[in-house]
Structure 1
Amino acid sequence: MEIDVINILVAFVSIMLTGFLSIYLYRKQNKKSNEQINEINERAKKQLVEANERAEKQLAEVSKKADERLDKVNNGVDFYPIREGSINHNFYNHFERVIKQAKEDIYITGRGLNMDSRDKKIAEDYIKSFKNSLSNNSGLMITRVQYGENASEDWYSEFKELWQKFPKQLHFYVLDDSSNHDILHVATIDHQDSENCVTEIMLPTKKDVEDKEKEIAGSAIFVQKNIDLAISIKNRIKSIIPKCKKIDTIEKWEELINKQTV
């Protein structure tokens, strides 16, 4: 009987030890598995972060190259289309800002404005932008080729005052026969400065304003940082100067102004 009890106790202890050992081994294995899982998770997180960083870097490089390609294509082009039945105010506002920023020279062509009740303010602000540039920069040179003599008395009077104040900086020419040139109005600002040069190309249009047919600014573009284009436009403007009449005396200014009152 005692032997049976002892055997039972031994068997019971053996079972208990086996159970404890199994639990211990299970927990140990489970702990190891959790550690492995955590290690895998950490490694996965690190790889994910690294992958995101690489993707962001690659995206930034692609975006940069796209911007560079776009810059090469458009060279910083601003387009100002005319709206039906309206004066192109956006064009004039932008042009005035460009003129005020000029540092070295401006070459410009055009017919000018009639300065009637509708566009008088535009013309005044436009001429004022030249005045501000000349006042702030004694080294700035402006060359204007006027297409035809017909503009308005006020237009020429304003430029006459500007010329009297800056006779060495403002060179004003009138091209009598402008039929082959006034299809486009052009200008170039700081043509030798590759970083800051601006070229303006504007297609004028005719509209009936206050029962009169007038030529007003049509659609226009401004091209930045294209020095080849800027130099080309400057050379084209200079090439027609020999055909022009230079307005460089009070008498010539008065003659030009009086023609508008006839």
Structure 2
Amino acid sequence: MSRRLPPLRALEAFLRVVRLGSARAAAAELGLSPSALSRRIGTLEEFVGRKLFTRAHQAMQLTDEGRAFYDAVAPHIEALAAAVESQSDNLGVMRLHLGVLPLFGGQRLFPRLGELRKLHPRLHIDIDTGPHLLDRVGDTLDAAILLLQHPDPSLHAVRLDHNSVYAIASRELAAEIGSTPDTVKLSRQTFLVHNELPDSFGTWRDAMGLKTFEPAAVDHYDSGQLLLEAAAQGLGIAIMHDDHFKRAGDKRLARLFDVDVPSPYSYWFVCRPRDLEQRPVRLFHDWLVDAGL
């Protein structure tokens, strides 16, 4: 005996409301009026015999039963889409336009992209490391991986890590400065700061109890890789994340002072909420979260 399928349009409406976090956004994406969207959700609730959303003041909030239903159904819908994709000769390349900071790309993303290619051979990624990545999300970029303190609340954002701020120098310079902060020695030094981490130096300085200390100069870099190389060459003290230092594995570099300073910045994956419904964005997003990059 064949099983009765749920009303697929109603199921699509349900999934979009959950993924976009907004009934209004889901209705706009589907080209429906709010009342038409609500009717589709009602049809699905009638089919499954569960209350999936509570409705109040034109807002829809997922119930516990609704969350359980989504968690049970969403992976199978994704598997169905993947199965259709694998059996279709008409589907061409899926392309994702992704903004990435170069150091994240080199240290964390590129070493794992082979795994993604094996899972989704049709998915190809155009990498953009240019300026103003955040401003271009939803325009020339489908998504981006950025260093942020607080993501724009209008964007879908996933935090990828938590970091500490390190002061990093060449081994020779580290030996010269010593293991205890000395404002006289430090005031002679140039500090190197990444453009994407403008508040990192002040955060580190304050946490070290050096609020009145001023270095000889602060030089700014737009490349994390070049910043690390400058530090290795003895050009100054780099203020960087612990993860950057550890992944670099550069024996020419040493950490100054054994003090953990929480960073105000993290790497975030961001995209417009409605762009999660684009298959390339959804595939990359889900892989990124599962891979734990």
Q: TM-score range by the shorter chain?
A: under 0.3
Bigger relative contact order, structure 1 or 2, given CA contacts below 8 A and separation 6+? 2
Higher helix share: 1
Relative to the length of structure 1, the TM-score reads 0.26
Whichever of the two has the greater Rg, that structure is 1
Higher strand share: 2
